[in-house]
Amino acid sequence: MAVQKEPDYAIDYGDRAASAGISVFSEQFDDAFYYDGDDLGARYAPDRTGFRLWAPTAFEAFLVLYESWQGEPQQIVAMERSVKGTWAVTVPGDLEGLYYTYRVRIGEQWNEAVDPYARAVGVNGDRGYLIDLSRTNPSDWLKTDGGLRGAGPEPASAVDAVIYEVNIRDFTVHPASGAAHKGKFLGLSEPGTRGPGGIKTGLDYLADLGVTHVQLMPVYDFSTESVDETRLENGQYNWGYDPKNYNVPEGSYATDPYDPAARIRELKELIAALHSRGLRVIMDVVYNHMYDAYRANLTKLVPGYYFRYKSDGTLSDGSFCGNEMASERRMVRKFILDSVLYWAKEYRMDGFRFDLMGLLDVGTMTEIRMKLDEIDPSMILIGEGWIMETELPWPDRANQQQSARLPRIGQFNDVLRDAVKGNIFDAQWSRGFIGGDTHAAFGVKLGIVGGIPYHEGMKLFAQEPGQCVNFAECHDNRTLWDGISLSAGERPDEVRRQMHRLASAIVLTSQGIPFLHAGQEFMRTKNGVENSYNSPDEINRIDWERCFERQDDVAYLKALIALRAGHPAFRMRSAEEIRSRLYFEHAAGHCIAYTLRDHAGGDAAAHLYVLYHAGEGDTTLYLPELGEWKILFGVEHVRRLEAGVLEAGGIGMIVLAVS
């Protein structure tokens, strides 16, 4: 999480004499200086390396070569002004193993910066590094061709995915994780790790859970002020939503942050390990803001271009982190697109989750979707389409209200989240449907249908179910268990467990894309901490002892995933089919009941009856006359089933079927 600081030096935004009289803040700047080449950054070869930098407002530009991540330059090479505001130079000889930066004169100010297109960096990311990337590939690394991603089978639709959000450090840093490389990329790629009672942990655990996609919280190089890679022994922690170098992995997750190749190789080894288990990988990306817009390498190279500004000259701050990337500007859009495609091709990522996507523009997001489709149409693209205040014109914001212009891009469903468990900003008093708030039932129904326009009185933001990501918890805010602990009052632990299970059941049986937070299956707690972005390991780590103690809860979630996988009625592909196959049935206020009829989604079952029962007592329900109903799931909540009557008891979900 970034918090913008005030500049402690005067920023020179350049002399228009360097840019043909065109201001960096003007719309004409893009027309004059948009560069569409694919050679920005360093292009290494054993006999020479070519460099191209985009810096239209610079009077002079130099390539600075270093032998180490610190110390004085080995060589300073003048770059030549080239086309469309670029500067270029080719240096003969084998430069692999050298570090580099760019030094530019903007007006009367000299700035030194890391190449925004750098693909390797030294410790803390303060200098780029020249490397033959083929040397970082695992031995069984597949070439990027023919759309082969390395993990299969390909999902036929985004709604076939079950996404599981993981933080690299959290997942293996616990003393009982059984991992040798705790908190590292390699820790999560280790096979055969075991925890308390011999339970599977790490990679084996993920593969056994039944999820299809592992979403990795930020793995790009993030701010040194969040985690200093030279002081890892001090136990620093940060989620990493404060980008520094967009195209390089984070060094604190590598076994040796001083070795520029290690972080690249070890992240690839993790991705290969996940792919080998049939798991696809989604990368959490933060192109909406940076840690510090004034000190960012992008600003040092082209001051005033990459970020949004208000009319008074201050930074726009829709991110609440102090700044926003100006994605609507053509070279910013190009940078984001180039970066996403680089991760997709070089690291074989299978999808992307866009942090605060509502601050990016529609054109950028639709172009990303189009370009990813050219690589592999099954790649997942989701984002936070929150409606946020920004200088970007309202119709251009890639948020929930523009979903009709964002086909095949999923957006997180905060309406379902809050309806299920209560408003996240009023966790103590807002109980949600699982806590007995009957007024929340309508919001749950909006999620059940996948956020589509089900009828005139029931519609959310999605046009199709693949645009709706349903969830009850994620890394942000309190965990589901901690929220329940606040709102449930004196209710006993067993009732709280039932509430928690029901929340997960709703997510996994609703139309759309289900999303789970690591540890949700065993009721993860962060000891009540609401925003743990920089809390210590003791708060954030996956507690494998708790996992062992709650194996019955883990088994329950695995059964839910298997239920969804085994019944395509929960994964209908289109809004039209949902409208024609999903019927809400009459039920008491603390219940939601619906049927999925006529082999919905191609299901083997003729009809399914789903009941979400949020009352602790017993309830009698009358079943639709569609055939002989049999129990498919939730037998522990069935008190009686006969002659078209279902008597349900306790908080939980029941699924019945007519074959």
Instruction: Taking residues 466-488, report their average pLDDT.
Output: 97
Residue 2 banded pLDDT, cuts 50, 70, 90: low
Domain hosting residue 415, numbered range? 160-571
- 48 and 128 co-located in one domain: yes
Residues with catalytic annotation?
355, 384
Mean pLDDT of the chain: 96
User: DSSP 3-state assignment of 343?
Assistant: helix
Q: What is the pLDDT of residues 514-553, one digit of tens each?
A: 999 999 999 999 999 999 999 999 999 999 999 999 999 9
Residue 9 banded pLDDT, cuts 50, 70, 90: confident
Residue 429 clears pLDDT 80, i.e. is over it: no
Identify whether 376 is part of a domain.
Answer: yes
Identify whether 605 is part of a domain.
Answer: yes
- 341 and 434 co-located in one domain: yes
Identify whether 6 is part of a domain.
Answer: no
Count the domains in the chain.
Answer: 3
Last residue of a domain, one of 571, 591, 607: 571
Instruction: Taking residues 11-20, report their average pLDDT.
Output: 90
What's the rounded Cα separation, in Å, for the pair 572 and 35? 43
What's the rounded Cα separation, in Å, for the pair 19 and 29? 8
Is the whole-model pTM more than 0.95? yes
Residue 144 banded pLDDT, cuts 50, 70, 90: very low
Least confident among 5-14, 186-195, 373-382, 383-392: 5-14
- 86 and 188 co-located in one domain: no
- 278 and 385 co-located in one domain: yes
Identify whether 143 is part of a domain.
Answer: no
Identify whether 204 is part of a domain.
Answer: yes
Running DSSP on this structure, what letter comes out for residue 354?
E
Which residues lie across from 638 on neighbouring strands?
648
- 386 and 515 co-located in one domain: yes
- 563 and 595 co-located in one domain: no
At residue 495, the pLDDT reads 97
At residue 3, the pLDDT reads 56
Instruction: Taking residues 41-56, report their average pLDDT.
Output: 99
Last residue of a domain, one of 571, 605, 639: 571
Identify whether 1 is part of a domain.
Answer: no
**CATH code of the domain in which 624 resides:** 2.60.40.1180
Last residue of a domain, one of 539, 571, 603: 571
At residue 30, the pLDDT reads 98
Q: What is the pLDDT of residues 354-401, one digit of tens each?
A: 999 999 999 999 999 999 999 999 999 999 999 999 999 999 999 999
- 563 and 597 co-located in one domain: no
Instruction: Taking residues 571-577, report their average pLDDT.
Output: 99
- 364 and 456 co-located in one domain: yes
Identify whether 141 is part of a domain.
Answer: no
Among candidates 129, 155, 320, which has minimal Cα distance to 221? 129
Name the maximum alpha-carbon separation found in the chain. Answer: 87
Among candidates 380, 252, 375, 390, which has minimal Cα distance to 320? 390
Residue 147 clears pLDDT 60, i.e. is over it: no
Identify whether 597 is part of a domain.
Answer: yes
What's the rounded Cα separation, in Å, for the pair 17 and 58? 10
Running DSSP on this structure, what letter comes out for residue 320?
S
Residue 148 banded pLDDT, cuts 50, 70, 90: very low
